Amino acid sequence: MKFSTDPALATRLDADDEFARFRDEFEFPTPPDGAAESIYFVGNSLGALPTRVRGAVTAELDRWGNLGVAGHFTGDLAWADAHRLVAAPMARIVGGSSDEVVAMNALTINLHLLLVSFYRPTPQRHKILIEEHAFPSDHFAAESQIRLHGFDPDTSLVMVSPRPGEEALHDEDITAAIAEHGDSLATVLLPGVQYYTGQVLDIEAVVKAGHAVGATVGIDLAHAVGNVELSLHDHGVDFATWCTYKYLNASPGGVSGIYVHQRHLADESLPKLLGWWGTRRETRFEMVNVFDGPATAESWQVSNGPALQMAALRASLELFDEAGGVAALRAKSMRQTAYLQYLIDELFEGRVQSITPDVAERRGCQISLQIIDPSIEGQLVFDRIEAAGVFCDWRYPDVIRVAPTPLYNTFAEIRRFVDLLAQALEMPGE
């Protein structure tokens, strides 16, 4: 697509947007005092509220009030099966089967539960490979699991880094690091999308490299799920987990999800931290203290699911199915980020730069910007655009993360953001 800096182009792009109707399905924050309107470009941190979530959660409160404990087994929304109601739509989003997916807990708890099963170190093979700038939760989880097994993170935690002077990783550097540590590598744990730069990693290549050296491969999908197309089953990913409150818009701190590849589901040799809710539904209430887990991801459950969060997730996932899935939304997302990248390059040369990969297939909804104009501090620019009504975020030490999402953001908002950024750069320094 050929872009231009003409503001009228944004209007034309919005007129051709097949997903424009979904914007009315969301609620947006009130702009700060003095701002004309809000621009919500922070779905990479917390998605906007889908209006239908209000009705879904209220319905559960009514069921609780009217049915009490009987709500666990009454009707199509019975709480005992709340996790099953979201399994199929989540499986479609991550590229797996319903048996391979379950909604439960929170992301870091799930990561620990999965590492219990898939990080099985030996004196010869004990290393976990992560990225140098991994999200702290992933780093802490890997570090603590290494210590839990009696190893030292100084020798058992391997980190792959960007090249000097660069921010994004090179796919070939990741696979080379996997090969280099192959004989001692137990597990590879990498993100689907890197949270700081917005870079999409080549999951298929990572899995192939990890399996070639005998390591298990897990993927943190916090910034990938609902953002980019995923094919976890076909790519052979051993395990994955994600949160649902970012691009899936499923409430603050919303219930997480896990994926376990089908080849592991019936493997009774895998260690697990067991819980009552991980037993078969058919025998669960016989209250027998012999674990009888199904050959599905449900056997990783330790507790029953939070009904209100499940309702919010169920309502939000409906929107993705109505839109035709992530694959359909991805095409719009790539146009949005390409348009934003074009405007940054054309209008702010030497003043603002993106550290997100230029190749559309290697970035998700997010563009990470650095203010490189030496006459002004990046934090000050962020503060100014935030005061003007832009909801984005600042990530230490010097990045403004901007995430136009295809379900509810418009091209006109991208153009308005660029205009506000220009104004912030031109205001007198403080």
Position 60 in a domain:
no
Does residue 240 share a domain with residue 144? yes
Position 149 in a domain:
yes
Q: Which residues pair with 403 in a beta bridge?
A: 42
Neighbours of 373 (CB within 10 A): 15
CA-to-CA dists, residue 429 to 98, 101, 276, angstroms: 55, 51, 60
Q: Are the beta carbons of 417 and 19 closer than 8 angstroms?
A: no
CATH number at residue 117: 3.40.640.10
Q: What is the pLDDT of residue 33?
A: 87
Q: Are the beta carbons of 344 and 174 closer than 8 angstroms?
A: no
Neighbours of 64 (CB within 10 A): 14
Does residue 414 share a domain with residue 377? yes
Does residue 289 share a domain with residue 182? yes
CA separation for the pair 338, 423 (Å, rounded): 22
Q: Where in the sequence is the domain holding 228, given as residue range(s)?
A: 82-322
Does residue 340 share a domain with residue 266? no
Does residue 89 share a domain with residue 32? no
Does residue 345 share a domain with residue 293? no
Q: Could you list the pLDDT tens digit for every one of the 430 residues in the chain?
A: 799 999 999 999 999 999 999 999 999 999 998 888 999 999 999 999 999 999 999 999 999 999 999 999 999 999 999 999 999 999 999 999 999 999 999 999 999 999 999 999 999 999 999 999 999 999 999 999 999 999 999 999 999 999 999 999 999 999 999 999 999 999 999 999 999 999 999 999 999 999 999 999 999 999 999 999 999 999 999 999 999 999 999 999 999 999 999 999 999 999 999 999 999 999 999 999 999 999 999 999 999 999 999 999 999 999 999 999 999 999 999 999 999 999 999 999 999 999 999 999 999 999 999 999 999 999 999 999 999 999 999 999 999 999 999 999 999 999 999 999 999 999 765 5
CA-to-CA dists, residue 250 to 89, 90, 181, 262, 366, angstroms: 13, 12, 38, 26, 19
Does residue 412 share a domain with residue 304? no
CATH number at residue 414: 3.90.1150.10
Does residue 415 share a domain with residue 372? yes
Number of domains in the chain: 2
Position 164 in a domain:
yes
Q: What is the pLDDT of residue 428?
A: 65
Q: Residues with Cβ < 8 Å from 204, sequence gap 6 or more?
A: 231, 235
Q: Which residues pair with 159 in a beta bridge?
A: 130
The pair of three-digit structure tokens given for residue 234, joined into one six-digit string: 């076909």
Position 76 in a domain:
no
Does residue 295 share a domain with residue 167? yes
Q: Which residues pair with 318 in a beta bridge?
A: none
Residue that finishes a domain, picked among 304, 322, 340: 322
Residue that finishes a domain, picked among 294, 322, 350: 322
CA separation for the pair 241, 90 (Å, rounded): 12
Q: Are the beta carbons of 134 and 194 closer than 8 angstroms?
A: no
- pLDDT tens-digit series, residues 156-170: 999 999 999 999 999
Position 67 in a domain:
no
Q: Residues with Cβ < 8 Å from 27, sequence gap 6 or more?
A: 48, 49, 50, 51
Does residue 358 share a domain with residue 230? no
Cis before 7? omega within 30: no
Does residue 181 share a domain with residue 111? yes
Position 72 in a domain:
no
Element (DSSP H or E) covering residue 49: strand 49-50
Q: What is the pLDDT of residue 36?
A: 84
Q: Are the beta carbons of 361 and 197 closer than 8 angstroms?
A: no
Position 58 in a domain:
no
Residue that finishes a domain, picked among 286, 307, 322: 322
Does residue 92 share a domain with residue 46? no
pTM for this one?
Answer: 0.97
Position 405 in a domain:
yes
